[in-house]
Amino acid sequence: MNKPVVVSEETLTEPVVVADVAPAAKSAAKAAGPAYIVLAGISVSHFLNDTMQSLIASVYPILKDTYALDFAQIGMITLAFQFTASLLQPVVGHYTDKKAQPYSLAIGMASTFFGLLLLSVAQQYLVILVAAAFVGLGSAVFHPESARIARLASGGRYGFAQSVFQLGGSFGTSMGPVLAALIVVPFGQGSIAWFSSIAFLAILILWRIGRWYAPQIKAKKTTAVQAHPDAPSSRRVVVALLVLVALLFSKQLYVSSLSSYYIFYLIDRFGVSTQAAQIYLFIFLAANAVGAFLGGPLGDRFGRKIVIWISILGALPFTLALPYAGLHASAVLSVIIGLIISSTTSSIIVFAQELVPHRFGMISGVFFGVAFGIGGLGAAVLGKLADHTSIEFVYQVCAYLPAIGLLAVFLPKLPRHTR
């Protein structure tokens, strides 16, 4: 039962607990603690990356009015952006598992740079879709390898490192509506080109991080490891991964519904201005950022499974109340929902990484990719539904999504030292 087994490249779900680095190096890394400068750099890069990406959803009202788009076409823009990222992230993660690419982050950011420039001058719907796809391509390259760097710099505090990484992205996402309200709405679509300077800054930071990362890369070797006696079986690993995907579905689709259509919901129901609606969206997204940061350390301390339980199911009473609340009550509820539901992201991702530790890049890519893909597909479907019914009806339906959190009962208990 304790006989050493060999982990091959073809093994995808073998329930082993494998060190990320050599035991001596791992102990030294834990003793030294997290590499805070690297974590700060990768978090800032995530902030810049997601700030630029969130501009796409934030300028939807401008694009809708300028080009007479319906809600289904708005959803297709989100799908073009997020489907590109969803399709390619697992591919990137699988490739970098075999051969890490320390400078790929800077190169991928160049795709975002080009996508922003193209979006700023796009005059046709097809060109807008292509520009959104280029921004999605940059995201596909960025997330899997940057998540690996965050773990490498964690000093053993994996949930904390993932939360620091997620914090940058969440705050970047929340800044999109504010920047759109202050810059893009007053100055028009062409002002999106100004944000290419942010992409250039991100390229410089990521190139410097790549220089730190390059010496950390060691040649991959086939490693003999022992299966932990309490590790879940292969079948339970597969079931757990499917459950985690379903949980991420409920969380990400709900967040996507607010991110893509909350502005229109507030305008249609309460008659607020576009700029005021963008501020309300910023409040929700900022709460998401805080929740994303808190979830990782809480998972390190109390266990990821309990955090997953609380963060998804705990949002249900508030999501059910949101469609029937007034304007100010909606703002308060959106903050509570954002804080609770986003605290699950880091725990879900780290839980999945610990289930399949020898496929870290691919698993990271799959889960980041699924998050983007679910958001894109869901935005397109919800847009079509809104065209045939109403935005208010969409939010009444989405209010029940956190109930999927009940599936967390099927998650296995991991060996304590892997948490």
Q: Using 50, 70 and 90 to split pLDDT, how confident is the model at 4?
A: very low
Check residue 326 and give left, alpha or beta (phi > 0: left; psi -120 to 50: alpha).
Answer: beta
One-character DSSP codes across 237-281: HHHHHHHHHHHHHHHHHHHHHHHHHHHHHHHHHH---HHHHHHHH
Contact 82, 375 (CB under 8 A): yes
What's the rounded Cα separation, in Å, for the pair 176 and 285? 9
Across-strand partners of 225?
A: 5
The per-residue pLDDT for 371 is 66
> 128 is written with which tokens?
């807008």
The per-residue pLDDT for 337 is 93
State pLDDT tens for residues 307-316: 888 888 889 9
State pLDDT tens for residues 99-134: 777 888 888 899 989 999 998 888 889 999 999 999
Can you say whether the dihedral through the CA atoms of 268, 291, 304, 418 is positive or negative? positive
Contact 150, 123 (CB under 8 A): no
- With residues binned 3-state (H G I as helix, E B as strand, rest as coil), the percentages for the chain, rounded to 5, are 80, 0, 20
State pLDDT tens for residues 180-197: 778 887 887 888 888 888
Compute CA 2 distance to the chain's CA centroid, rounded to the nearest angstrom: 37
Mean pLDDT to the nearest integer, 38-47: 89
Contact 167, 94 (CB under 8 A): no
Return the H-helix or E-strand segment holding 224.
Answer: strand 224-225
Mean pLDDT to the nearest integer, 260-264: 83
The per-residue pLDDT for 336 is 94
One-character DSSP codes across 307-352: HHHHHHHTTHHHHHHGGGS-HHHHHHHHHHHHHHHTTHHHHHHHHH
Compute CA 8 distance to the chain's CA centroid, rounded to the nearest angstrom: 29
The residues, ordered by sequence, that sit 6+ positions from 187 with a Cβ below 8 Å of its Cβ are: none
Closest CA to 247 of 83, 87, 409, 88: 409
The residues, ordered by sequence, that sit 6+ positions from 409 with a Cβ below 8 Å of its Cβ are: none
Return the H-helix or E-strand segment holding 5.
Answer: strand 5-6
Compute CA 37 distance to the chain's CA centroid, rounded to the nearest angstrom: 22
- For a pLDDT cut of 90, what percent of the chain falls above it? 11
* Residue 333 vs residue 214, higher pLDDT: 333
What's the rounded Cα separation, in Å, for the pair 136 and 127? 14
Q: Using 50, 70 and 90 to split pLDDT, how confident is the model at 205?
A: very high
- Geometric angle at alpha carbon 182, from 128 and 40, rounded to 5°: 85
